Structure 1
Amino acid sequence: MTRGFLLGKFMPPHAGHVALVETAQALVDQLTVLVCWLPDDPIPGPLRLAWMRELFPKARVVGHGAIVPQAPEEDPDFWPIWRAIVGAAHPEPIDQLFASELYGARLAQEVGARFAVIDPSRSGVPISASAIRADPAGNWHYLPPPVRPYYAKTICLHGPESTGKTTLAPLLARHFDTLFVPEYGRTYCEEYGLSLTMDDLVTIGRTHAAMTQALLRQCNQRLILDTDPLMTAVWADMLFETRDPWFDAFQDTADLYLLLDIDLPWVDDGTRFFGEDDRRRRFFDLSRAELDRRGLNYRIIGGPPEERFERALEAIAEAGL
């Protein structure tokens, strides 16, 4: 059996890292990847460890989070320290040590392995982790799916029924060349009817949250949400004047909420409940109160249907998203 080893900060993992690890995996029978971090790193080490484990399930991916010297000039015992770290992570003999940095040659010598340098000039995948941290949007295509949710921005359409959310969501998605999460409550009611229970609402909220997490991995910088569990919580308030504790425990809120005003005619499409003026007003007030209570970033979008798209774009630009 041939054994390989590589290490890095992977802050964050990107296409260059993927190429390095996949190349190494193809050249040895067993690969160990050591993910290193310091307590004050801008991206938490355990999160990077989880990303790498998801990206490379066939590799042995281990973590090291102790404070140790990062360069030979910091400590005269730099190489013995790192030799011990590698030995703890990979106690078996190492046949090949892989790296795209030339430090790997000395480290390979220290652990008695053959050095395999892979694309040291980054000509194959011209990107660095520091470049991604500086401009994640501009380097989006270098981010693997598990990393995208960390950087993606979520824009959620919020507010009562019959205010244009379902029309606006795909328009925004097309404008930003990205995806949108459709309103799962509508899908659920069309399938199972309008006699909703609290358990139904929790199912709607949980499913919508799961759909959001799935599409965050595939979106292009932004993800548009046609409502989220906060809106389902307001539905619970409207229907039952109470809510399941799951809703208040939900914390994966959007970066920006566009609260659509009720200054449009109410249209009964077969899945709507509250057409009376006073109930529409209460629905809107509760929707706004939910955002205020949580201290979330939101803008109110009103006016004729043909103007709401432009007003939404202006609000998103003002929010820096």
Structure 2
Amino acid sequence: MKGEKEFGLGVVIGKFLPPHRGHHFLIDTALSRCSTVVVVICEKLTDPIPGHLRQAWLQEMHPAADVRVIDDRYDENDSRVWAENTLGWLGRAPDAVFTSEHYGDAYAGYMGSRHVMVDQPRHAVPCSGTAVRTDAFAQWDHLAPPVRGWYAKRIVVLGAESTGTTTLAQALAEYFETPWVAEYGREYSLGKQARGDGTWHTDEFLEIAREQTRREDAAAREANRFLICDTAAFATTLWHRRYMGFRSAPLEGFAKSCRADLYLLTGDEIPFVQDGLRDGESIRHEMHGWFEEALASQPVPWLQVTGTHEERLATAITACAGVGAPVGQRDV
């Protein structure tokens, strides 16, 4: 019959750690030849990427597939056990098994299914999960947006008022040809100023931190290896302390859950420039000290950048390169 697919039920099984273009090619091949495709993600508790994230990424990239996660507690070399479990997971034997591995013959054979080998020599897509985990930057072109969002290194430029954070963030983004995330707190503050609202509340800072992070997460998907952020939720905790006069446990708890790979603290040795919104010239140096103290008490690597714009940019670029080095070659 015209339009009828070769197989009814097809299965694709693997770690997908992480999903890459080779996996997408494999799944797309199965979808093109099967009426129904079940993708089985094998998850171990020690995996560096949780199974539910891999499931969400694959479901986003392949909405026509049925993507599931199973608890991987079995001998990876025992094809009979994997076949028996697959029959239980699916409720029946699949008509076809799609893999890029030689184990597929035995695995499919135990279920009475046909094995379809897809690009076993990796000619169509020369990539592997191991290669991505070792050096994701080198495999960047093989990664889909949600996976890029996971591997993008988040470089956060922060500091007291009028210390050049935005200038440096924009310059870094231009150098690395990648997006940068502007300071949402400034946007929010301008709105309050326009409304004549000069009173701050703790909930507003949590709102700012959440929106800043949401924008970071969205931009990370489009990042070219690095994502440059002009401030982050971590800095919002200090601005809360500045304007409210006390610390907020919920805000600080949220900030600790946010991602950052390197903090760049801009020095306060440059002249203060009033832009109509800033009010901290008299306390700028004290605020700078707060940043130093807070950065010293948290685990993310950080570095202070000072000097001319060119000197700051050169220092920052070198620091970013250290963060983006392959596993085992990072100094920062």
TM-score by length of 1: 0.90
Residues 10 and 30, structure 2, Cα contact 8 Å, conserved in 1: yes
Query: CA 1:183 to 1:21, structure 2 compared with 1: closer, same or farther past 3 Å?
Result: same
Residues 156 and 256, structure 1, Cα contact 8 Å, conserved in 2: yes
Partner SS, residue 299 of structure 1? strand
Pairing of 1:158-169 with structure 2 (within 5 A): 158-169=158-169
What are the superposed Cα offsets for residues 60-86 of structure 1, whole Å, 9 maximum, x if unpaired?
222222421112xxxxxx343122111
What is residue 20 of structure 2 aligned with on the other side? Answer: 14
Structure 2: tracts of 5 or more residues without a match? 1-6, 324-329
Pairing of 1:169-180 with structure 2 (within 5 A): 169-180=169-180
Q: How far is the alpha carbon of 1:112 from its aligned partner?
A: 2.1
Supply the RMSD in Å over aligned alpha carbons: 2.1
What is residue 53 of structure 1 aligned with on the other side? Answer: 59
Question: Which one of the candidate residues 41, 44, 68 is aligned to 2:74?
Answer: 68
How far apart, CA to CA, are the structure 2 residues paired with 1:314 and 1:66? 41
- The percent of aligned pairs where both chains have the same amino acid is 34
**1:294 and 2:266 aligned:** no
What is residue 223 of structure 1 aligned with on the other side? Answer: 227
Q: Which residue identity does 1:108 align to in structure 2? A: A
Question: Which one of the candidate residues 213, 224, 227 is aligned to 2:217?
Answer: 213
Q: How far is the alpha carbon of 1:41 from its aligned partner?
A: 4.2
Q: How far is the alpha carbon of 1:54 from its aligned partner?
A: 3.7
**1:80 and 2:80 aligned:** yes
Q: How far is the alpha carbon of 1:17 from its aligned partner?
A: 0.3
Number of equivalent positions? 313
Deviates more, 1:210-219 or 1:105-114: 105-114
How far apart, CA to CA, are the structure 1 residues paired with 2:82 and 2:319? 50
How far apart, CA to CA, are the structure 2 residues paired with 1:69 and 1:318? 38
**1:191 and 2:191 aligned:** yes
Q: Which residue identity does 1:300 align to in structure 2? A: Q
How far apart, CA to CA, are the structure 2 residues paired with 1:275 and 1:42? 44
How far apart, CA to CA, are the structure 2 residues paired with 1:171 and 1:318? 18
Residues 96 and 113, structure 1, Cα contact 8 Å, conserved in 2: yes
TM-score by length of 2: 0.87
What is residue 102 of structure 1 aligned with on the other side? Answer: 102
What is residue 75 of structure 1 aligned with on the other side? Answer: none
Pairing of 1:272-311 with structure 2 (within 5 A): 272-276=278-282, 279-311=283-315
Residues 20 and 129, structure 2, Cα contact 8 Å, conserved in 1: yes
Query: CA 1:318 to 1:244, structure 2 compared with 1: closer, same or farther past 3 Å?
Result: same
Partner SS, residue 141 of structure 2? helix
Q: Which residue identity does 2:292 align to in structure 1? A: R
Question: Which one of the candidate residues 219, 236, 259 is aligned to 1:232?
Answer: 236
Query: CA 1:107 to 1:210, structure 2 compared with 1: closer, same or farther past 3 Å?
Result: same
What is residue 204 of structure 1 aligned with on the other side? Answer: 208
What are the superposed Cα offsets for residues 54-109 of structure 1, whole Å, 9 maximum, x if unpaired?
433332222222421112xxxxxx34312211111211342222112232233222
Deviates more, 1:280-289 or 1:184-193: 184-193
What is residue 29 of structure 1 aligned with on the other side? Answer: 35
Structure 1: tracts of 5 or more residues without a match? 72-77
How far apart, CA to CA, are the structure 2 residues paired with 1:129 and 1:79? 21
Q: How far is the alpha carbon of 1:45 from its aligned partner?
A: 4.1
How far apart, CA to CA, are the structure 1 residues paired with 2:69 and 2:23? 16
Residues 45 and 65, structure 1, Cα contact 8 Å, conserved in 2: no
What are the superposed Cα offsets for residues 237-287 of structure 1, whole Å, 9 maximum, x if unpaired?
1111124333211221411111111111111112212122xx112211112
Q: How far is the alpha carbon of 1:43 from its aligned partner?
A: 4.3
